[in-house]
Structure 1
Amino acid sequence: MATIVSTLSFALLMLSISSAASNALSLNYYDETCPQLEYAVTKAVKKAISNDKTVPAALLRMHFHDCFIRGCDASVLLESKGKNTAEKDGPPNISLHAFYVIDNAKEAVEALCPGVVSCADILALAARDAVSLSGGPTWEVPKGRKDGRLSKASETRQLPAPTFNISQLQQNFARRGLSVKDLVALSGGHTLGFAHCSSFQNRIHNFNARLDVDPSLNPTFAARLRRVCPAHNKVKNAGSALDSTSTTFDNAYFKLLLQGTSIFSSDQALLTTPKTKALVSKFASSKGVFEKQFVKSMIKMSSITGGQEIRLDCKVVR
């Protein structure tokens, strides 16, 4: 059953967020102007999940990729136009999908309260629903984000790559004001979803000058990955689920990581420092502890703001 962060814990967390972000966002931002907002968004997400079990992972990843570039401003939703290639068409985002869920939610919200709710807030709410409807925790989302006007594919290189080592990961998260604890907790989002072969090919073929396979991988697991993703794979969309329960939000990701059956180099990197390894072990041993920290880290990440307007259509600047 989904768990709700206590009001006290939430209040303490909000005090830790930068003053600019906490001043901009509010739990009751739409109470008067669009009281049915959350119901409308949840309804759209539920409908999509009933038809496609990959939607939760897609929405969670979409929100993450949005927030890590220019803040949580829905710039990832904008379409390329003219000579400008937008974020969604940048290399790390080519595999993003389920944009229609946000479009459907926005349409429903516009019917209730035209021109009031940002696409960025709808995406933040949809990501929360994606987690809770997959068996994970729920939480109150601070609202009041604005939508950004700029979206550039060239900026997607700022996203953390699946090949990053621990130093690169820590630096990447720190630039967004996120701690090592946030890094490990948010990596737990890999409990949902699927990885294409290209994202982990470096671990199973030509790992280095001496070894073909990353020695930190469980040999049986590595052999399975090599069968699914041969060296010159030509099967479109070939790959592997990110964990053994890839449509359920739980702490299996951390358990598998300790067993040498994680997918990305960036996952394995979490075991390379005492502090991050201790956090992995802590989250592996308690789903509740993981969920509590995940919620804190999600609120912190999603409170990175940066937009300027309320879009009427999430795909185009107003």
Structure 2
Amino acid sequence: MSTDTLLAIVEPLLTWYRQNARILPWREEPTPYRVWISEIMLQQTRVEAVKPYFARFLEALPTVPALAQAPEQQLMKLWEGLGYYSRARNLQRAARVMVEQFDGTLPPDYESLLKLPGIGPYTAGAIASIAYGIPVPAVDGNVLRVVMRLIAGWDDIADPNVKRDVAQRMARVLPKDCPGDFNQAMMELGATVCVPGGEPKCLVCPLNALCEGYRQGVARELPIKAKKKARRVEERTVFLLVCDGELGIRRRPTTGLLAGMWELPSAEGKRNLEGSMEQLQEWGVQPQEVKLMPAAKHIFSHVEWHMTGYWVDLKARPEGFTWVGRETLQQEYALPSAFRAYLEAFTK
């Protein structure tokens, strides 16, 4: 499909978007800060799941300086349940750069945005075009899928060269007077009509008359993406250390998976009762009673945890752990959702 043909999608796409765009809180007031926070939250997370997090985050930290100054524990609590916690840390790192270099605001420049922690080409393009009206493309998975179906392209979208080619195509057709609307329209079409993982809704698509994938009957087969490597499975044993209604938690190491997060004490491998007692003794824990809990599983992007859990009642609190009650745990401490199945047994 030539650039001229891609130019033909602009008007019907914008007309469709202005009539059908979902009402979303970050669209109602697209300030640079709100656009930035929403785009980072929406990475790897569904729109409906993000809405309450977005509202709570903006209420607690309404500005770049407020985010830059937020205590880590508050930031992690606000992010609890969204996963990929490095996103939250990068938000704060970027906010601190903005305070130091840009008077506490997001710079109105694509290249400057791109240099901030946690902001890549897509996010920089989204902020620049939506919040500042700068005519740069924003190419995410939705846009890649729409374009490859439009042009009936069989190249692997996991290839960075293919993504660059799509970005260049979009840059050539991007309307200069409303780049934010166009970028959002492409994303919206991919999210609601030209959908992944099933039959695209070609009969109601505003671009079906211009779509090579539809004309050739291959839209469902596109785009092509190389399969990811299989996730590594790790066995872990998780302990709920409970003493007088308080739970023992601790910090994870500052590097690696879930770096620096609070966690339920855990150990590598699937431990039987004897092996679990040895681990508890190594930590200086003297159990009064140890009860096996149901197995649980949690999937990260590249690792899958298969967990064995033990409820451990104690007479005394050993050193090396932070002890918190149910209310304090729920209000102040952020623990990764990997431990949710076991935390619910304590908090219910």
Structure ID, larger Rg: 2
After TM superposition, the score normalised by the length of structure 2 is: 0.22
The structure richer in strand per residue is 2
Query: Which has the higher relative contact order, 1 or 2, with Cα contacts under 8 A spaced 6 or more apart?
Result: 1
